[in-house]
Every structure is written in structure tokens, then in C-alpha cells.
Amino acid sequence: MLKTIGAQIKEYKMASILTPVSIIVEVIAEMLIPRCMGSIIDNGIKKDDMTHIYMMGVLMVILALISLAGGSLGGVFGAKASAGLAKNVRKAMYGKVQTFSFSNIDKFSTAGIVTRMTTDVTNIQNSYQMILRMCTRGPMVLIVAMVFSFTISPKLASIYLVAVIFLSVILFIIAKLAMKYFEQVFKKYDELNNSVQENVTAIRVVKAYVREDYEKSKFIKASENVYKMFVKAESIVVFNMPLMQLTTYVCILLISFFGAKMIVVKDLSEGDLANLLAYCMNILVSLMILSMVFVMISISLASAERIAEILNEEPDIVNPENPVMEVKDGSIEFKDVCFKYNKDATDNVLEDINLKINSGEVIGILGSTGSAKTSLVNLISRLYDVTEGSVSLGGVDVRNYDLEVLRNEVSVVLQKNVLFKGTILDNLRWGKKDATLDECKEACKMACADEFIEKMEDGYETLLEQGGSNVSGGQRQRLCIARALLKNPKVLILDDSTSAVDTNTDEKIRKAFAESIPGTTKIIIAQRVSSIMNCDRIIIMDEGKVNGFGTHDELLAGNEIYKDVFESQTAGSGDFDEGGR
């Protein structure tokens, strides 16, 4: 975990080194000031030597300036190093998430990833700055002050040693007890963020069903859980301060009492006692700082573990060593394919799939909800890898292709239509980043999107809101289809992507496909028989298995599922699920 996070320091190593160096200079200069004070008392005031007093005064000013410079530089370098580490960690996490397959992403919730990239990274940043500065300053003050104290009076300095050991043990116990609550806090943060994200994303549904009070109660409950965990943790950490104060005052009393006795018998000078009292405060304050750092590190360790989970997660789907860089054609073959989302699952989502699709064919897929239609087509573009068997494209196993090449040649319009904030033209160019306006217009014409775009005041420069919320569901679908067409792929997959358009527009889109991209293999998942009945062949999916594969006429004559759906829909009773078996 620490190695994983530490690897992100990179170009900020020098700043990370200069921070403790500056702090060491600050501490040494600061610790020499009490020695000057003691010398002023013993060799200046008691001997009435004003020259010595002035010399020590000037030296104290110089030491104070050196200490100030060291502390200031330590602050600057520490801020640069910690902010740089946070930047690199966020960048590394974001880059790693981009390499994840769907199966990797399934392991982490969206809210969990957001919390890791915000709250957890901020904790790491604050903790790293404290480690560089306070974890250098605290031990250095402790060591230098203890050494100077023992050179003055080993007997009195032993009081500090006992206090340090006592406090170290107590602070370790406090931090250990608080740690388990801090670990739970961030899980509660995930729940809190998830509640907010879900509510904002689905705000239209919430308002449509008048569920604002229910959503408020969910948020309050999640917020209450975070509050309770922090209270439990802080109620333990709060013992730090009283224990520190108790130890400090006891040490001052003991040093003053035994020091006064030693002065009477001439075993200690007044200046040395002043030095010891100054070092007493320095030692115990350094311990208090270390206790605060210890608590902060305890919090950040939980954050570091969560960040390391992302950074150490290995993508399930990666490029082979010598990838194939060209897809010959759009022919597809499923051979003895079995698939399950979780390797530990007992049942397969897809079972014993054997299909052969010729390049340029138009294939329809029909099946009830949950029959694994989407799972089947996701294997073609290698969004998931098969558990058993193989899927081939252009005569080559999809696992042997370069991922970018494969996904550029297999264009998928997903079930959930996603558009990004920006102009219509910007969104279309996701399909082809250097597409000309004419190319975009041609793709929109094929997808029947030009009909509504040209009616807009700004046309292709019309600004879309996040998620395309300012256009209708059918318009989003057509824009997504146009975006996919710009890739000019060997295979085009429409995953129920015309469900929100009327039957007339659906027919126009299919006709445009047949005329404009005859060489592209087209796979259309649909609930309406009318959307696929004119396909070259139709696949009937049932409970993760291929129940039938043939033309409309063949299936109508020999497949009960297709026959039932066709009859129910042509009789006007609705979609597949309503008119199913």
C-alpha cells in the first residue's frame, strides 16, 4: 500500500527531500536559543557582563532568523510535495479507471470511486504534508532537546524519558482504538455520496413520484451514520490533549522541585534550570504534535488502502503481446461460448452458444428481459471476456486483437444512451474525432437525426446539457446511432437503440443502413418484431441459451417463442414481455 502511494511522488522527490532538511535546520537553530538564554543568565546577568549579554542577544536573533527561514522553506517545499503527490495520485487513479474492463468497474461503485478521488486523496495530501514537516520536526525536537537535557543534568532529564515512554504507549493505544472507527467512516462516506448521486441523477423520477421526503430520510440516515462514526473516533482521540497537559504540568512541577533543590546544593545553575524548563515544553509539545500526526496518519491509512485498491486492481482485459492490428471483415463466430460475470458464480449467464454470422448480414436478436441478449453482444467488442469457448471476428479470436482496433471496428450503441455536455458536433465527433461537418451530416441523415437538428436554432452547434437532458429519448438514441456510424465500422450493434423512436423512423433508419452500409454486419436487439422481421436471420434468446436461429419465416414455422411473440404483437397486445409465453 505505502509502496503504491509512494510511487506517485515522482517529480516531487526533491521537494520531499528538501522539506525535512529545511525543518532540521529550523529545529537545530530553535533548540540552540535556550542555550543562549541559559548562557545569558549564568555568564551575563550573574557576572554583570553586558558584552556577553549583547553577543548572546545578537546570536539569538540570528538563530531565530535561521529558524524562521528553515520553517518557511519547509512549508513551501512541503506544500509543493503534498499537492504534487495528490495531483499524481488522482491522475493515476483516473488513468487506471480508464483501463478497467466492465468487470473491474463492477467491483467499485461510482460513489466509492468519487470518494476515493476526493476525500481520500485530500486525506493523503494532508497526511503527507504532516509527515514531511511534523514527523521531521517532532522527532528532531525530541532528540535534540533530550540530548541537550542529558548534557545539562542526566538525573532531571530522566524525568522526560519516563514521560516520553508513558505518553508514547498511551498515544499508540488511542490511535489504535480510533483507527477501526476511521476505517468505517469512509465506507459510510460511500453510502452518503451514493445517496446524493442517485438522487440527483434520478431527480425527475423522484419528483414524478413525490418521493422527496423518502430521499431526504435516506440522506439523513447516511449522514447520521457518518456523524456517529466520527463521534466515536473523536471521543477516543479527545483524550490526547488532557493527557498531554497532565504530563506537561507534572514534568514542570518535578523539574522545578528537584531543580530548585539541586540549585541550593550547587549541583545545577539557574541558567541550566531555565534551559531544562524550556526543553521540557519543547519535548512535550513535540509529543503532542506527533500524537496529532499519528491520528491523521491513522485516518489516511484507511484512505491509502482504498486508493491502493484502485491502483493495484489489474484490468481483466488487456492487449495481447503481439496484437492483430487489422479486422479483415465483419464475420462473427461464437464457438462453445459460456460466460458468467463473476468467476465464483455457480451458474453461467450464457450457456453453450454456437453461432456463425456472415460479414454484411443483418442479424436480429429477440428475447425476454434477462435472457442475456446484451451479454451476448458485449462479448463481440470484448467489453467482457468469455469464461469458456471463443468469439471470433474476421476469423480471428477477439482476444488476439488490439483493443483500440477491435472497438473501432465494432461500434456499439448501448442500451443506455449517453451524451456529454457540449455541442451536438462535439458529441458526434466522439465517433471520429477529425470528422468533417459533411461527414457528421451524412451520419445524422442515416440515423434520421438531421430531421430535428436542422430545426434547432444553432443546428449542429446546439449545446447539449449533461447527459443530453435537453433532447428527447428518441433524439438521444438517433444521435448515439449517428455517433457510432461515424466510425464506419465492420460491425454495428444496436442494443435496443430504437426503442424510443416511432415505427416509421425505425423503418427509415433500417432502410438507410441497407442502402448506405451494406458491407457492415448489423446486429439489432429489439423488443418489437417489426424492427427485426426483415433481418437476414434472427436469434431467439431464452435464459442464456440460443433457442432458435433462422429467418422470419423459418422461426414463424418452427419456433414457439417467436411465433407467440409475433402473434401477440401483431394482435396489438404489446411488447415481448406482455405477450410472452
Tell whether the model's pLDDT for residue 579 goes beyond 50: no
Q: What is the mean pLDDT of residues 340-349?
A: 84
Rounded to the nearest 10 degrees, how much is the dihedral formed by the CA atoms of 558, 564, 565, 566? 70
Q: What's residue 21's pLDDT?
A: 93
**pLDDT for the residue numbered 211:** 84
pLDDT of residue 421: 87
Question: Average pLDDT of the chain?
Answer: 85
For the stretch 7-27, pLDDT in tens is 888 899 999 999 999 999 988
- What does the pLDDT average to over 224-251? 82
Q: What is the largest CA-CA distance in the chain?
A: 120
Q: Where are the domains of the chain?
A: 2-312, 332-570
Dump pLDDT digits (tens) for 111-144.
Answer: 778 888 888 898 899 889 888 888 888 888 888 8
Q: Quote the pLDDT of residue 572.
A: 52
CATH code of the region 2-312: 1.20.1560.10
Q: Over range 359-372, report the average pLDDT.
A: 90
Cβ atoms 311, 95 nearer than 8 A: no
Look at residues 232, 228, 18 and name the one whose alpha carbon lies nearest to residue 132.
18
Closest to 237 measured CA to CA, from 174, 183, 284, 285: 174
Task: Express as a percent the part of the chain with pLDDT over 70.
Answer: 97
Provide the 3-class DSSP secondary structure of residue 9. coil
Beta pairing partners, 73: none
91/579: higher pLDDT: 91
Task: Give the lowest-confidence range in 194-198, 254-258, 355-359, 519-523.
Answer: 194-198
Span of 220-224, 271-275, 333-337 with lowest mean pLDDT: 271-275
Amino acid at the residue 241: M
Query: In this model, does residue 287 exceed pLDDT 80?
Result: no
Has residue 523 got a pLDDT over 80?
Answer: yes
Alpha helices in 202-269 (DSSP H): 203-208, 212-237, 240-264
pTM for the structure as a whole: 0.70
CATH number of 332-570: 3.40.50.300
The bridge status of strand 545-550 relative to strand 537-542 is antiparallel
| Res. 354 pLDDT band, cuts 50 70 90 | very high
